[in-house]
A and B are shown apart, each in its own frame.
Chain A
Amino acid sequence: MWKDKAMRLLMVSAASTSVFLVVLIFFFLAKESAPFVLKPGLSALFDTQWIPVSFVRERYGILPLVTGSALVTGLSMLFTIPLSVLGAIYIAEIASPVEREFLKPFIELLASIPSVVLGFFGLMVLAPLIKSLFGLGTGLTALTGAFLLTLMAIPTVITLSEDAIMSVPRAYKDASQALGASDLQTIFQVIIPAALPGIIAAIMLGTGRVIGETMAVLMVTGNSALMTWSPLAPVRTMTATIAAEMGEVSFGSIHYQSLFWIGLVLLAVTFVLNIIAQRVLVRYGMMK
């Protein structure tokens, strides 16, 4: 029996690593960014300018990066939500079984295209297109990034929304049709409302993905840390800033600490989105 107990212990400790890892991630991000609180102080983060390397005065305001991320994410969700929800409705309710067998792996395929390859495609094809379409000086804009992020969010949101739609009890559909509703009325007035909590959770998880995406936005959004709400202006996101600048900082410097602060903000935002999404799923009994 000792072997049985030993194996059990092994499995418990393996499973505990996940908890341990979460604690470690929070701890390390906090540890590396902590000295910033003493000098130059937390208020420096709320500056409206991000100029971490300067001969005059360095400024560590992450606000332009936050608005950059918010702009790109917001735009991308504007495209993602209608496309994905309609896509999920199509796969779950309208497509023939043969079509479904083809469409589902195809969407999964999109999920496995590396983000750097999508970024490369954006650089080669999408950016020139946007440049000539809007007559801009550069095609590297928030909109370009948003399009690529839409491609990255679509698989997550379609797959999870489709799960939500599929989990609506068949009886709802039967009852609706027995009352004389047409297929379309049944979809939009019975099935979608019933699946709504799951769809909302899917959208939130998709948003979390989009905020955290790094390479594609780094390559196509133009990387200028300006505070702007124009979709056709170049912007710089939080993730792109970390990726672009971490290679050049000296470890432990204030610049280094400020990059960890950005990481901490990213972690907090995605953590909250994730937890709320799970709450919604549990609350409406949609957890598998």
Chain B
Amino acid sequence: MNTRKEQIIYWLIRMVMYSIVLVIGYILFDIVWNGVPALSWEFISEYPRKGGAEGGILPAIVGTLALLVGTIAVSLPLGICSAIYLSEYAEQTRFTTMIRLAIITLAGVPSIVYGLFGLGLFVLLLNFGTSILAGCLTLACMVLPTIIVSSEEALRAVPRGYRDASLALGATKWETIRTNVLPYSLSGIITGSILGIGRAAGETAPILLTVAAFYLPRLPNSIFDQVMALPYHLYILATQHPEADKVLPLQYATALVLLLLVLGLSLGAIFIRIHFRKKYRW
């Protein structure tokens, strides 16, 4: 049924799709090609010198990892519990509708607005100052909707029969969730959450207002310290540095490290998903 004209249109659509792929490929190639030569063990294990013009980015890496861990610690338990409520307990009430509406709203709030909110609440009102704590809490608010939505999806994927069987044997609701629902959905919850949190690791706008230090060549001592962070460091090197041209290799190398960290998390999550999809089939 396909005429010649249709074939041409198919090819045009295919070209649109593959030009998008090509552009993505080129971006990755550009960062890797220019970043790899400047990458060295010294670069990731040393402190920056001369305002970031020389030396490494160790404090920025440590800072980003600290933010990541803190964000997970706050958002994961909260997100999973919310998802358990929505998938296992919630009935079709106005309260539930309100929660769903709130989650949708949170998912749409721009990251810079989370930054303003974090500044107003955590930094100023609660007096945490610009600190790891304020940054983690702000980022946790930001990733919460993603974690809830993906966790709920994972929980709902567990067949009804598992719950019914457990309840029929006399287990309570919570025992059922703990022994017959959570174990089977955990892999889905984790992968979905990693994807959401990976994005938080690359975010700059919220930490700009709540944690990030311009230049701080030491490691943080407590959660009330400021830290450097990879995305902010890249932003500073690329736009604010007085000798931006001279530090070009360092910029590319920083971009590459950030990219590897975020893509590593995402790819890891995607592989875990594929692995577990094969393991559990219902």
Interface residues of chain A, those whose CB is within 8 Å of chain B, are 1, 3-4, 7-8, 10-12, 14-19, 21-22, 24-25, 28-29, 31-32, 82-83, 86-87, 89-91, 94-95, 103, 105-121, 123-125, 151, 154, 182-184, 205, 208, 211-215, 218-219, 239, 242-243, 246-247, 251, 259-260, 263, 266-267, 270-271, 273-275, 278
Contact, CB under 8 Å: B110 / A270: yes
Contact, CB under 8 Å: A183 / B102: no
Residues of A within 8 A of B173 (CB): 4, 7-8
Residues of A within 8 A of B28 (CB): 113
Q: Does B106 contact A (CB under 8 A)?
A: yes
Q: Known interface pairs A8-B173, A25-B113, A278-B104. Does A120 touch B234 (Cβ–Cβ under 8 Å)?
A: yes
CB distance from B259 to the nearest CB of A (A): 6
* B 72-102 to A, binary, CB cutoff 8 A, 1 in contact else 0: 0000011001101110111000000011011
CB distance from A286 to the nearest CB of B (A): 14
Contact, CB under 8 Å: B6 / A29: no
Closest 10 CB pairs of A and B: A212-B110, A114-B202, A14-B81, A11-B85, A274-B108, A15-B85, A214-B205, A28-B120, A18-B102, A90-B17
Question: How far apart are the CA atoms of A128 and B165 in the complex, in Å?
Answer: 64
Residue of B nearest to A213 (CB): B110
Contact, CB under 8 Å: A274 / B16: no
Residues of B within 8 A of A118 (CB): 27
Contact, CB under 8 Å: A22 / B172: no
Known contacts A114-B204, A214-B111, A243-B115; 4 further A-B pairs (Cβ under 8 A): A7-B173, A15-B86, A15-B90, A109-B24
Question: How far apart are the CA atoms of A226 and B1 in the complex, in Å?
Answer: 55
Interface residues of chain B, those whose CB is within 8 Å of chain A, are 1-3, 6, 9-10, 13-14, 16-17, 20-21, 23-24, 27-28, 30-31, 77-78, 81-82, 84-86, 88-90, 98-99, 101-117, 119-121, 124-125, 141, 144-145, 148, 172-175, 177, 195, 198-199, 201-205, 208-209, 231-232, 234-235, 238-239, 251, 255, 258-259, 262-263, 265-267, 270
Contact, CB under 8 Å: B14 / A90: yes
Residues of A within 8 A of B251 (CB): 120
Contact, CB under 8 Å: A17 / B235: no
Question: How far apart are the CA atoms of A246 and B210 in the complex, in Å?
Answer: 11
Residues of B within 8 A of A117 (CB): 31, 202, 231, 234, 255, 258-259
Residue of B nearest to A8 (CB): B89
Contact, CB under 8 Å: B205 / A243: yes
Contact, CB under 8 Å: B85 / A14: yes
Q: Known interface pairs A212-B113, A214-B112. Does A113 touch B262 (Cβ–Cβ under 8 Å)?
A: yes
Q: What are 18 of the A-B contact pairs (CB < 8 Å)? A: A11-B84, A14-B81, A15-B85, A15-B86, A16-B99, A24-B117, A28-B116, A86-B17, A87-B16, A87-B17, A91-B17, A114-B262, A116-B231, A117-B231, A214-B112, A242-B112, A243-B209, A274-B107
Question: How far apart are the CA atoms of A133 and B173 in the complex, in Å?
Answer: 65
Q: Known interface pairs A120-B251, A266-B110, A274-B108. Does A182 touch B238 (Cβ–Cβ under 8 Å)?
A: no
Q: Known interface pairs A89-B13, A112-B199, A278-B104. Does A18 touch B89 (Cβ–Cβ under 8 Å)?
A: no
Contact, CB under 8 Å: A212 / B109: yes
Question: How far apart are the CA atoms of A108 and B273 in the complex, in Å?
Answer: 14
Contact, CB under 8 Å: A22 / B113: no
Residues of B within 8 A of A83 (CB): 16, 20
Contact, CB under 8 Å: B195 / A124: no
Residues of A within 8 A of B144 (CB): 17-18, 21
Residues of A within 8 A of B86 (CB): 15
Residue of A nearest to B203 (CB): A114
Question: How far apart are the CA atoms of A118 and B30 in the complex, in Å?
Answer: 11
Residues of A within 8 A of B3 (CB): 182
Contact, CB under 8 Å: B102 / A21: yes
CB distance from A24 to the nearest CB of B (A): 7
Contact, CB under 8 Å: A115 / B204: yes
Listed residue (A19, A25, A116, A251) with the most chain B CB atoms within 10 angstroms of its CB: A116
CB distance from A97 to the nearest CB of B (A): 15
Question: How far apart are the CA atoms of A149 and B240 in the complex, in Å?
Answer: 22
Contact, CB under 8 Å: A116 / B258: yes
Residues of B within 8 A of A247 (CB): 208-209
CB distance from A199 to the nearest CB of B (A): 15
CB distance from A277 to the nearest CB of B (A): 9
Residues of A within 8 A of B98 (CB): 19
Contact, CB under 8 Å: A263 / B21: no
Contact, CB under 8 Å: A214 / B82: no
CB distance from B196 to the nearest CB of A (A): 10
Question: How far apart are the CA atoms of A14 and B82 in the complex, in Å?
Answer: 5
Contact, CB under 8 Å: B105 / A274: yes
Listed residue (A15, A29, A182, A270) with the most chain B CB atoms within 10 angstroms of its CB: A15
Contact, CB under 8 Å: A212 / B117: no
Listed residue (B85, B112, B202, B239) with the most chain A CB atoms within 10 angstroms of its CB: B112
Question: How far apart are the CA atoms of A285 and B163 in the complex, in Å?
Answer: 28
Q: Known interface pairs A21-B102, A212-B109. Does A113 touch B27 (Cβ–Cβ under 8 Å)?
A: yes
CB distance from B241 to the nearest CB of A (A): 12
Question: How far apart are the CA atoms of A31 and B172 in the complex, in Å?
Answer: 45
